Structure 1
């Protein structure tokens, strides 16, 4: 698969999912990962249209997934919650069938030269060209998973995996997505690379995703250094150090609802 897109634009703020967004848990719902990228893309477009300061960087975005994500047209409403010259908070709400299904809030922080004190991040991952492909479709089904090029630094273990993810597909047909939107399109995949229990036996969908970035990611690869913990009372956490090909860029967290299928 080398062509296509996850979404088509059918209006100024309206998008139609393609079959490539198909979910891993059910054929009649979308995988959240492309939707997360689409929300970042919508925020980028909103800020560009409003003349926002391009020197401010997306430093944190949190997504609350409010319910099922049907494969249907969606509208995205974006607004500024807290304007500012050095700190800005933007909110995006995705609606499907007139119902809010995802709410995202993004903090933008002013950029400056702090290279003299930069440090403390994890070690870079092996370059994706040096590690072997991993057939993620052997664990998961769905249109989205089928679009991915997945390369694991070693064979995934229950609750622990490190992998590179990329896709040849555009986020939105005919539109150029920015580097953060393209990177974010793949981050939600983290909950599927280090499964503790097979998804035909247990469900562990995430109800949120929060991404913190200490620098802007670049390039076509999203690196996921992921650990999954299941607690004793039905909750779990997927924690990921995020990388691009030059090194770590931030962290992601997902809270899981864990329950048996049988």
Structure 2
């Protein structure tokens, strides 16, 4: 793969340098060419908590990421702590900081002990019957000013565009991360889920005039880890009033649903 300028992009999102992670062009966000994409903020916070605080006895059940400052394209570090380490509930905090110690995002991660499912039947939505991603054409890459994408998208219904994108419809897509995440490490299933959680904003909150909301958070709820490379998203809610929007997507793999992603967002114009 080459960029529009004919330059081969880096094959990873971050390089590790001691306690710091050095962002590459693949981490650039859509709002400001000098800022990190929200997806890699969520992914890196999950990466550190999984690396330091998770074992197989526990399932990550919720990741909530608060993004309260523009994250510059500069080396970042993650500081984590255990808030609660109980028999069935483990809670960790993670803070993303730049070199001078300024905090630019933080996360709370709830991990629950795995156990057998209780007996009985509970209502559940019908199966997600959509085309396999291999049968769908890949969408064009994002504009060159966004940097080389680390993922590919295949639309089932609707599309996401930062400018006009046609009549609003319920969006359904498949997403696959193609690049390494840290150096030569592929993103784990949990990191892949965290990476796509931020996409609940453009998928749920964009309309016929493109995306005009920037999300201040992303919350991912999981009842299991995703399997395989492809993650599906289906918009199930969008509501907005007084310049504030909320959006929600169900997230799937090829075996079915594994969680939900929700965001809150504020009206915003891109600086590109």
Normalised TM-score (structure 1): 0.87
SS of the residue corresponding to residue 37 of structure 1 reads helix
Q: 1:189, CA displacement in angstroms?
A: 2.1
Match for 1:158 among 168, 177, 194? 168
- Tell me: CA distance 1:121–1:34, structure 2 relative to 1, closer, same or farther (3 Å): farther
Q: 1:229, CA displacement in angstroms?
A: 2.7
Which deviates more from structure 2 when the two are superposed, residues 162-171 or residues 184-193?
184-193
Q: 1:166, CA displacement in angstroms?
A: 0.8
Q: 1:203, CA displacement in angstroms?
A: 2.9
Match for 1:215 among 224, 239, 242? 224
Match for 1:131 among 136, 139, 149? 136
Normalised TM-score (structure 2): 0.84
Taking the aligned partners of 2:269 and 2:21, their CA distance within structure 1 comes to: 34
Match of 1:44 in 2: 50
In the alignment, structure 2 segments of 5+ residues that lack a partner are 2-8, 160-166
Taking the aligned partners of 1:67 and 1:159, their CA distance within structure 2 comes to: 31
1:23 maps onto 2:29 in alignment: yes
Match of 2:197 in 1: 187
In the alignment, structure 1 segments of 5+ residues that lack a partner are none
Match of 1:7 in 2: 14
Match for 1:112 among 97, 109, 115? 115
- Tell me: CA distance 1:192–1:135, structure 2 relative to 1, closer, same or farther (3 Å): farther
Taking the aligned partners of 1:115 and 1:222, their CA distance within structure 2 comes to: 27
Moved over 6 A (4+): none
Taking the aligned partners of 1:214 and 1:100, their CA distance within structure 2 comes to: 30
Match for 2:95 among 93, 96, 101? 93
Taking the aligned partners of 2:183 and 2:252, their CA distance within structure 1 comes to: 26
Match of 1:240 in 2: 249
SS of the residue corresponding to residue 238 of structure 2 reads strand
Q: 1:132, CA displacement in angstroms?
A: 3.1
Taking the aligned partners of 1:111 and 1:8, their CA distance within structure 2 comes to: 33
Q: CA RMSD in A?
A: 2.5
Taking the aligned partners of 1:209 and 1:255, their CA distance within structure 2 comes to: 7
1:56 maps onto 2:58 in alignment: yes
